[in-house]
A and B are shown apart, each in its own frame.
Chain A
Amino acid sequence: MFGIGDEAPEFAIPSADDDLVSLSEILDEGHVVLLVFLRHLG
């Protein structure tokens, strides 16, 4: 299990707008990423 100080696992998953969003592309743009995993949208 990774933790603080480790490299974040790469991902590429679709957005609600059907764009494919990848972590590496966002980082390449110079952003810091706040990744929030929701439980459900109820």
Chain B
Amino acid sequence: MAQLCPYDDELERLGVKALLVTFSSKGFAHKFREKVCSSFSVLINRERDLYRTYGLESSLLRSWGWRNLWSYARKLVSGQEWKGIQGDSTQLGGEFIIDRDGTVRFAHRSRDPTDRPRVEALMEHLQEISRQRKDLDGE
């Protein structure tokens, strides 16, 4: 989700708090923030109980399917650094948008590692929520 970093100012303008949850170690989380995205909060969930609570699956078959292998191959060919895998490579991720009332407004549970929503689509959801809130508040 490094693609979110350039939207930092826009997220703040929209009143959005971005929380990245990882089951990697605190050391990797600090490195991630230093090298990739320093402005977002990184939460550590080593036991992955929050992953389970939010319905995110683990799947060996889907995590190492051809689409993911092809994705890794393209990254390596393009010269991206391979930092290895920390923890359980079968754990899948997801994205959720929760509005100020605590209601889930967007939920995406990855079917495989390449199945992530476009950042532009997430931003459109967040902008729409902001517009709706302004309408309700009469601004």
Contact = CB atoms under 8 A, between A and B. Distances in A.
Interface of A: 1-9, 11, 13-16, 21, 23-24, 26-27, 29-42
A40 B87 contact: yes
A3 B97 CA distance: 11
Contacts of A14: 43-44
Interface size class of B (residues with CB under 8 A): 35 or more
A29 to B, nearest CB: 8
B41 interface: yes
Interface of B: 1, 4, 11, 14-24, 26, 28-33, 41-45, 50-51, 53-56, 82-89, 91-107, 110, 113, 122, 126, 129-130
Given A27-B102, A29-B17, 14 more contacts: A4-B107, A15-B41, A16-B30, A23-B102, A30-B15, A32-B16, A32-B99, A34-B97, A37-B50, A37-B93, A37-B94, A38-B20, A42-B82, A42-B84
Contact of B104 (A3, A15, A21, A38): A3
Contacts of A42: 82-86
Which label, helix, strand, loop or mixed, suits the secondary structure of the A interface? Answer: loop
14 contacts: A8-B98, A8-B102, A13-B21, A13-B45, A16-B42, A16-B43, A37-B56, A37-B95, A40-B22, A40-B88, A41-B28, A41-B31, A41-B32, A41-B83
Contacts of B32: 41
Contacts of A9: 53-54
B29 A41 contact: yes
A36 B1 contact: yes
A21 to B, nearest CB: 6
